[in-house]
Amino acid sequence: DTGVSQDPRHKITKRGQNVTFRCDPISEHNRLYWYRQTLGQGPEFLTYFQNEAQLEKSRLLSDRFSAERPKGSFSTLEIQRTEQGDSAMYLCASSLGPELKLFFGSGTQLSVL
């Protein structure tokens, strides 16, 4: 097992376009988290799943954002009608159970022009 994998590593898009990111967690981890990080700030919670159930969504997550985790394995994060303010590093993390030792992927750096 090679850890949490995120794809793509970088994404450049034009304002108004839709983008989708993928995260493959560590295989035996049942929890999967999405965070967003901008320069000079810490990761900001977006949403998390336990198995296939989405248990919590941040109020910061507008209707343009949607996340799925079909079959409790990989997850996708979609942003519709991107805005320049969506430019950030999108981090995925997974953990086993409630101990919350988060294992992060390398992130997807999104630039909205």
Partner 1 sequence: TQLLEQSPQFLSIQEGENLTVYCNSSSVFSSLQWYRQEPGEGPVLLVTVVTGGEVKKLKRLTFQFGDARKDSSLHITAAQPGDTGLYLCAALGLNAGKSTFGDGTTLTVKP
Site for partner 1, rule CB under 8 A: 4, 31, 33, 35, 40-45, 48, 50, 55-56, 91, 93, 98-107, 109
Q: How far is the CB of 105 from partner 1 (least distance, A)?
A: 5
> Can you tell me the distance from the alpha carbon of 14 to that of 23, in angstroms, rounded to the nearest whole number?
22
Q: How far is the CB of 42 from partner 1 (least distance, A)?
A: 4
- For partner 1, the closer of residues 50 and 80 by Cβ is 50
Which of 69, 68, 46 minimizes the C-alpha distance to 57? Answer: 46
- For partner 1, the closer of residues 58 and 66 by Cβ is 58
23: tokens are 């995260």
- For partner 1, the closer of residues 63 and 99 by Cβ is 99
Q: How far is the CB of 16 from partner 1 (least distance, A)?
A: 27
> Can you tell me the distance from the alpha carbon of 83 to that of 74, in angstroms, rounded to the nearest whole number?
26
> Can you tell me the distance from the alpha carbon of 12 to that of 34, in angstroms, rounded to the nearest whole number?
19
Contact 67, 78 (CB under 8 A): yes
Q: How far is the CB of 46 from partner 1 (least distance, A)?
A: 10
